[in-house]
């Protein structure tokens, strides 16, 4: 919830003075403040009732948590956070192992007289399979 800027408040006051006259503006402002206070009381009562009905697990429930995305993130995903972090670290370990294996494979398949495999231009080669030549892609293996 964003609050209006001082310029917006001044424009609203000016519009109120023009529409209702300078005599009624203070009464209208008091009524608006009472309505705002009443609505805030309703919101707080509703929040407290929800906290009581949902139990101690949701004791820190806020009005903004009623957004489904925020609610799921705060109350459901936190239970699985440790599992998700463990899976992420496992995947990262597998990725590192694959990267290490790939670099070992590249260094083993490079020709020392041609220089490093990364510097060489990829040349298409064919491998004979019986009488039919089969294209060979050095980057695919």
> How large is the average pLDDT for residues 27-33?
89
Q: Which residue has the higher pLDDT, 58 or 89?
A: 89
pLDDT at 51 over 70: yes
> How large is the average pLDDT for residues 28-45?
92
Distances (CA, A) of 19 to 22, 28, 36: 9, 11, 21
5 part of a folded domain: yes
User: pTM here?
Assistant: 0.38
| Percent share of the chain, pLDDT over 70 | 79
> Are 37 and 82 contained in the same domain?
no
> Are 41 and 75 contained in the same domain?
no
- What does the block give as tokens for 112? 């020392």
> Are 1 and 54 contained in the same domain?
yes
134 part of a folded domain: no
pLDDT digits (tens, 9 = 90+) for 80-134: 777 888 888 899 999 998 888 888 888 877 755 555 555 555 555 555 455 566 6
> Are 71 and 52 contained in the same domain?
no
pLDDT at 60: 75
Indicate the helix (H) or strand (E) that contains 17: helix 6-20
Degrees, nearest 5: CA angle 106-111-114: 115
The total of other beta-carbon atoms located within 10 Å of residue 110's CB is 16
pLDDT at 49 over 70: yes
- Beta carbons of 125 and 137 less than 8 angstroms apart: no
pLDDT at 1: 55
pLDDT digits (tens, 9 = 90+) for 5-22: 889 988 988 888 888 888
pLDDT at 39 over 90: yes
pLDDT at 130: 56
- Beta carbons of 122 and 138 less than 8 angstroms apart: yes
Q: How many domains does the chain have?
A: 2
């Amino acid at each position: 919830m964003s609050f209006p800027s001082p310029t917006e408040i001044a424009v609203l006051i000016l519009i109120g003075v023009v529409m209702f006259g300078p005599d009624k503006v203070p009464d209208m402002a008091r009524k608006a403040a009472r309505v705002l206070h009443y609505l805030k009381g309703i919101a707080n009562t509703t929040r407290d009732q929800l906290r009581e009905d949902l139990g101690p697990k949701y004791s820190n429930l806020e009005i903004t948590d009623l957004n489904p995305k925020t609610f799921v993130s705060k109350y459901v995903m936190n239970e699985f956070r440790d599992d998700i972090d463990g899976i992420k670290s496992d995947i990262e370990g597998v990725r590192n192992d694959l990267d290490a294996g790939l670099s070992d494979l590249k260094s083993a398949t490079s020709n020392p007289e041609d220089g490093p495999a990364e510097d060489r231009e990829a040349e298409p080669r064919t491998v004979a399979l019986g009488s039919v030549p089969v294209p060979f892609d050095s980057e695919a293996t």
